[in-house]
Protein backbone atom coordinates (compact mmCIF):
# COMPACT_ATOMS: atom_id res chain seq x y z
CA UNK A 1 0.00 0.00 0.00
CA UNK A 2 1.29 3.51 -0.68
CA UNK A 3 2.07 5.62 2.36
CA UNK A 4 0.52 9.01 2.94
CA UNK A 5 1.61 11.69 5.35
CA UNK A 6 -0.76 12.16 8.29
CA UNK A 7 -1.87 15.63 7.17
CA UNK A 8 -3.26 14.16 3.97
CA UNK A 9 -6.15 12.75 5.96
CA UNK A 10 -6.96 15.98 7.74
CA UNK A 11 -10.14 16.55 5.85
CA UNK A 12 -11.02 13.54 3.72
CA UNK A 13 -13.72 14.45 1.26
CA UNK A 14 -15.94 11.47 1.94
CA UNK A 15 -16.87 12.84 5.37
CA UNK A 16 -18.13 16.04 3.72
CA UNK A 17 -19.91 14.67 0.68
CA UNK A 18 -23.61 14.02 1.21
CA UNK A 19 -23.98 10.45 -0.04
CA UNK A 20 -27.78 10.53 0.42
CA UNK A 21 -27.87 12.52 -2.82
CA UNK A 22 -26.66 9.43 -4.69
CA UNK A 23 -29.43 6.93 -5.37
CA UNK A 24 -28.69 3.45 -4.09
CA UNK A 25 -25.39 4.58 -2.61
CA UNK A 26 -24.82 1.64 -0.24
CA UNK A 27 -25.40 -0.88 -3.03
CA UNK A 28 -22.85 0.99 -5.15
CA UNK A 29 -20.32 1.14 -2.34
CA UNK A 30 -20.70 -2.61 -1.67
CA UNK A 31 -19.27 -3.27 -5.14
CA UNK A 32 -15.91 -1.80 -4.20
CA UNK A 33 -14.45 -4.73 -2.21
CA UNK A 34 -15.12 -7.52 -4.72
CA UNK A 35 -14.29 -5.38 -7.77
CA UNK A 36 -11.09 -4.07 -6.22
CA UNK A 37 -10.04 -7.60 -5.32
CA UNK A 38 -10.69 -8.90 -8.84
CA UNK A 39 -8.92 -5.98 -10.49
CA UNK A 40 -5.88 -6.57 -8.29
CA UNK A 41 -5.86 -10.22 -9.25
CA UNK A 42 -5.80 -9.18 -12.90
CA UNK A 43 -3.59 -6.12 -12.88
CA UNK A 44 -1.76 -6.15 -9.56
CA UNK A 45 -1.44 -3.25 -7.12
CA UNK A 46 0.32 -0.32 -8.79
CA UNK A 47 2.51 1.45 -6.24
CA UNK A 48 2.66 5.23 -6.37
CA UNK A 49 5.71 6.59 -8.08
CA UNK A 50 6.51 10.18 -8.97
CA UNK A 51 5.45 10.89 -12.54
CA UNK A 52 6.19 14.51 -13.35
CA UNK A 53 7.13 17.46 -11.11
CA UNK A 54 3.93 19.20 -9.93
CA UNK A 55 4.01 22.16 -12.33
CA UNK A 56 4.89 19.90 -15.25
CA UNK A 57 1.97 17.66 -14.30
CA UNK A 58 -0.39 20.64 -14.28
CA UNK A 59 0.70 21.84 -17.73
CA UNK A 60 0.63 18.27 -19.04
CA UNK A 61 -2.99 17.94 -17.87
CA UNK A 62 -4.01 21.16 -19.63
CA UNK A 63 -2.42 19.82 -22.81
CA UNK A 64 -4.28 16.52 -22.41
CA UNK A 65 -7.74 18.09 -22.60
CA UNK A 66 -9.70 16.65 -25.55
CA UNK A 67 -6.82 14.73 -27.06
CA UNK A 68 -5.07 11.36 -26.89
CA UNK A 69 -2.18 10.54 -24.56
CA UNK A 70 0.12 10.24 -27.58
CA UNK A 71 -0.69 13.71 -28.90
CA UNK A 72 -0.44 15.19 -25.40
CA UNK A 73 3.02 13.66 -24.99
CA UNK A 74 4.18 14.94 -28.37
CA UNK A 75 3.03 18.45 -27.51
CA UNK A 76 4.57 18.34 -24.03
CA UNK A 77 7.91 17.12 -25.37
CA UNK A 78 7.88 19.81 -28.07
CA UNK A 79 7.14 22.49 -25.49
CA UNK A 80 9.99 21.34 -23.24
CA UNK A 81 12.36 21.13 -26.20
CA UNK A 82 11.53 24.60 -27.45
CA UNK A 83 11.56 26.44 -24.11
CA UNK A 84 14.23 25.86 -21.44
CA UNK A 85 12.00 26.88 -18.50
CA UNK A 86 8.34 27.52 -17.63
CA UNK A 87 9.30 31.18 -17.25
CA UNK A 88 10.29 31.15 -20.92
CA UNK A 89 6.90 29.63 -21.85
CA UNK A 90 5.12 32.26 -19.76
CA UNK A 91 6.97 35.17 -21.38
CA UNK A 92 7.03 33.93 -24.97
CA UNK A 93 4.84 35.35 -27.74
CA UNK A 94 1.65 33.30 -27.68
CA UNK A 95 2.17 32.33 -31.33
CA UNK A 96 5.40 30.54 -30.39
CA UNK A 97 3.60 28.49 -27.73
CA UNK A 98 0.74 27.73 -30.12
CA UNK A 99 3.25 26.50 -32.65
CA UNK A 100 4.99 24.22 -30.13
CA UNK A 101 1.85 22.56 -28.79
CA UNK A 102 0.04 22.13 -32.11
CA UNK A 103 0.17 18.29 -31.86
CA UNK A 104 -2.17 18.43 -28.84
CA UNK A 105 -4.95 20.11 -30.85
CA UNK A 106 -6.92 23.19 -29.76
CA UNK A 107 -3.55 24.96 -29.59
CA UNK A 108 -5.17 28.38 -30.03
CA UNK A 109 -7.08 27.82 -26.79
CA UNK A 110 -4.52 25.85 -24.81
CA UNK A 111 -1.53 28.16 -25.36
CA UNK A 112 -3.13 31.29 -23.87
CA UNK A 113 -4.63 29.12 -21.11
CA UNK A 114 -1.20 27.75 -20.19
CA UNK A 115 0.36 31.21 -20.23
CA UNK A 116 -2.47 32.60 -18.12
CA UNK A 117 -2.02 29.82 -15.55
CA UNK A 118 1.73 30.45 -15.44
CA UNK A 119 1.19 34.19 -14.98
CA UNK A 120 -1.41 33.63 -12.26
CA UNK A 121 0.92 31.32 -10.33
CA UNK A 122 3.72 33.88 -10.62
CA UNK A 123 1.46 36.68 -9.39
CA UNK A 124 0.14 34.69 -6.46
CA UNK A 125 3.31 32.90 -5.39
CA UNK A 126 6.10 35.18 -6.61
CA UNK A 127 7.63 32.26 -8.47
CA UNK A 128 6.69 29.44 -10.81
CA UNK A 129 6.40 26.70 -8.25
CA UNK A 130 3.36 24.89 -6.85
CA UNK A 131 5.16 22.61 -4.38
CA UNK A 132 3.47 24.54 -1.54
CA UNK A 133 0.27 22.60 -2.32
CA UNK A 134 1.73 19.58 -0.56
CA UNK A 135 1.62 21.48 2.73
CA UNK A 136 -2.03 22.56 2.43
CA UNK A 137 -4.98 20.51 3.66
CA UNK A 138 -6.30 18.47 0.76
CA UNK A 139 -9.45 20.49 0.07
CA UNK A 140 -7.58 23.79 0.21
CA UNK A 141 -5.05 22.48 -2.30
CA UNK A 142 -7.87 21.27 -4.55
CA UNK A 143 -9.71 24.59 -4.30
CA UNK A 144 -6.53 26.52 -5.12
CA UNK A 145 -5.92 24.46 -8.23
CA UNK A 146 -9.54 24.79 -9.35
CA UNK A 147 -9.36 28.55 -8.94
CA UNK A 148 -7.00 28.61 -11.93
CA UNK A 149 -8.72 29.28 -15.26
CA UNK A 150 -9.23 26.05 -17.18
CA UNK A 151 -8.50 23.74 -14.24
CA UNK A 152 -11.42 21.51 -13.29
CA UNK A 153 -11.87 18.63 -10.83
CA UNK A 154 -10.10 16.07 -13.04
CA UNK A 155 -6.95 18.13 -13.57
CA UNK A 156 -6.86 19.09 -9.89
CA UNK A 157 -7.21 15.45 -8.82
CA UNK A 158 -4.53 14.27 -11.25
CA UNK A 159 -2.02 16.84 -9.98
CA UNK A 160 -2.79 16.02 -6.35
CA UNK A 161 -2.77 12.25 -6.83
CA UNK A 162 0.04 11.79 -9.34
CA UNK A 163 2.45 14.59 -8.44
CA UNK A 164 1.90 14.72 -4.66
CA UNK A 165 0.55 11.28 -3.76
CA UNK A 166 -2.42 12.98 -2.10
CA UNK A 167 -5.74 11.12 -1.77
CA UNK A 168 -7.72 12.65 -4.65
CA UNK A 169 -9.48 10.39 -7.15
CA UNK A 170 -9.31 11.49 -10.80
CA UNK A 171 -12.27 10.56 -13.02
CA UNK A 172 -11.09 10.40 -16.61
CA UNK A 173 -13.05 9.10 -19.59
CA UNK A 174 -12.30 5.42 -18.77
CA UNK A 175 -13.18 5.71 -15.08
CA UNK A 176 -16.34 7.62 -16.00
CA UNK A 177 -17.46 4.94 -18.48
CA UNK A 178 -16.45 1.83 -16.52
CA UNK A 179 -17.69 3.34 -13.26
CA UNK A 180 -21.17 3.82 -14.75
CA UNK A 181 -21.25 0.38 -16.35
CA UNK A 182 -20.29 -1.44 -13.16
CA UNK A 183 -22.62 0.80 -11.19
CA UNK A 184 -20.32 2.74 -8.91
CA UNK A 185 -21.75 5.83 -10.56
CA UNK A 186 -25.36 6.59 -11.43
CA UNK A 187 -26.00 6.51 -15.17
CA UNK A 188 -25.74 9.92 -16.82
CA UNK A 189 -23.75 11.56 -14.02
CA UNK A 190 -21.22 14.09 -15.31
CA UNK A 191 -17.52 13.36 -14.91
CA UNK A 192 -17.24 16.48 -12.73
CA UNK A 193 -19.93 15.28 -10.35
CA UNK A 194 -18.48 11.76 -10.33
CA UNK A 195 -15.34 12.81 -8.43
CA UNK A 196 -16.86 13.08 -4.94
CA UNK A 197 -18.88 9.89 -5.53
CA UNK A 198 -15.78 7.84 -6.31
CA UNK A 199 -13.97 9.45 -3.38
CA UNK A 200 -16.80 8.40 -1.09
CA UNK A 201 -16.79 4.80 -2.37
CA UNK A 202 -13.06 4.02 -2.56
CA UNK A 203 -10.85 4.11 0.56
CA UNK A 204 -8.29 6.92 0.17
CA UNK A 205 -5.31 4.58 0.46
CA UNK A 206 -6.53 2.81 -2.69
CA UNK A 207 -7.30 5.85 -4.88
CA UNK A 208 -4.12 5.64 -6.89
CA UNK A 209 -4.11 1.89 -7.56
CA UNK A 210 -7.87 1.61 -8.10
CA UNK A 211 -7.85 4.57 -10.49
CA UNK A 212 -5.04 3.01 -12.56
CA UNK A 213 -6.66 -0.44 -12.54
CA UNK A 214 -10.03 0.93 -13.68
CA UNK A 215 -8.28 2.77 -16.53
CA UNK A 216 -6.44 -0.38 -17.54
CA UNK A 217 -9.67 -2.37 -17.43
CA UNK A 218 -11.34 0.27 -19.60
CA UNK A 219 -8.54 0.13 -22.15
CA UNK A 220 -8.17 -3.64 -22.30
CA UNK A 221 -11.64 -5.14 -21.67
CA UNK A 222 -14.43 -2.68 -20.90
CA UNK A 223 -13.78 -0.75 -24.09
CA UNK A 224 -15.82 2.25 -25.13
CA UNK A 225 -17.35 0.88 -28.33
CA UNK A 226 -17.94 -2.69 -27.20
CA UNK A 227 -17.21 -4.04 -23.75
CA UNK A 228 -15.77 -7.57 -23.92
CA UNK A 229 -17.99 -8.96 -21.18
CA UNK A 230 -17.37 -12.55 -22.30
CA UNK A 231 -13.82 -12.36 -20.93
CA UNK A 232 -14.46 -10.04 -17.99
CA UNK A 233 -14.27 -11.40 -14.43
CA UNK A 234 -16.47 -8.60 -13.06
CA UNK A 235 -19.77 -9.81 -14.51
CA UNK A 236 -21.30 -10.83 -11.16
CA UNK A 237 -20.83 -7.26 -9.87
CA UNK A 238 -21.60 -5.31 -13.03
CA UNK A 239 -24.94 -3.57 -13.58
CA UNK A 240 -24.42 -3.31 -17.35
CA UNK A 241 -23.77 -7.04 -17.67
CA UNK A 242 -26.72 -7.98 -15.50
CA UNK A 243 -29.08 -5.76 -17.48
CA UNK A 244 -27.84 -6.00 -21.05
CA UNK A 245 -25.20 -8.68 -21.63
CA UNK A 246 -26.14 -11.67 -19.49
CA UNK A 247 -27.34 -14.57 -21.68
CA UNK A 248 -31.03 -15.24 -21.21
CA UNK A 249 -31.70 -18.72 -19.82
Residues interacting with ligand SF4, by CB under 6 A?
A: 178, 181-182, 221-222, 227-229, 232, 234-235, 238, 240-241, 245
- 110 catalytic per annotation: no
**Full DSSP string of 112-145:** HHHHHHHHHHHHHHSSS--GGGGGS-HHHHHHHH
If the CB atoms of residues 38 and 78 are measured against ligand SF4, the closer one turns out to be 38
User: Residue 25 CB, nearest distance to ligand SF4 (Å)?
Assistant: 20
Contact between 240 and 54 under an 8 Å Cβ cutoff? The reply is no
Contact between 40 and 213 under an 8 Å Cβ cutoff? The reply is yes
User: Residue 125 CB, nearest distance to ligand SF4 (Å)?
Assistant: 43
Give alpha helix (H) positions in the chain: 25-30, 32-43, 54-64, 69-82, 86-91, 94-100, 107-125, 138-146, 153-158, 164, 173-182, 191-201, 207-220, 239-240
If the CB atoms of residues 101 and 232 are measured against ligand SF4, the closer one turns out to be 232
If the CB atoms of residues 159 and 234 are measured against ligand SF4, the closer one turns out to be 234
User: Residue 44 CB, nearest distance to ligand SF4 (Å)?
Assistant: 18
Give the dihedral sign, CA 185/147/166/118. positive
If the CB atoms of residues 143 and 236 are measured against ligand SF4, the closer one turns out to be 236
Instruction: List b or e across 103-116, with b for residues whose CB sees 16 or more CB atoms inside 10 angstroms.
Output: bbbebeebbebbbe
Cα separation, 218 vs 215, in Å, equals 5
State the catalytic residue, choosing from 21, 80, 110, 154: 154
User: Residue 89 CB, nearest distance to ligand SF4 (Å)?
Assistant: 40
Contact between 7 and 137 under an 8 Å Cβ cutoff? The reply is yes
Cα separation, 142 vs 98, in Å, equals 28
User: Residue 224 CB, nearest distance to ligand SF4 (Å)?
Assistant: 10
If the CB atoms of residues 33 and 91 are measured against ligand SF4, the closer one turns out to be 33
Catalytic residues: 154
Amino acid sequence: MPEYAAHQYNRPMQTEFNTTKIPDFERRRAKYEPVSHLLREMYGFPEWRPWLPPLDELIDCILSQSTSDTNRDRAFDALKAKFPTWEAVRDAPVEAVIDAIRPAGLANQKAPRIQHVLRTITEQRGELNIDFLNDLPLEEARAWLMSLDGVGPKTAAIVLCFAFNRPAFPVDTHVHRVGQRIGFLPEGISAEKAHPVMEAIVPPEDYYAFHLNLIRHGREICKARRPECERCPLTAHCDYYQRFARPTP
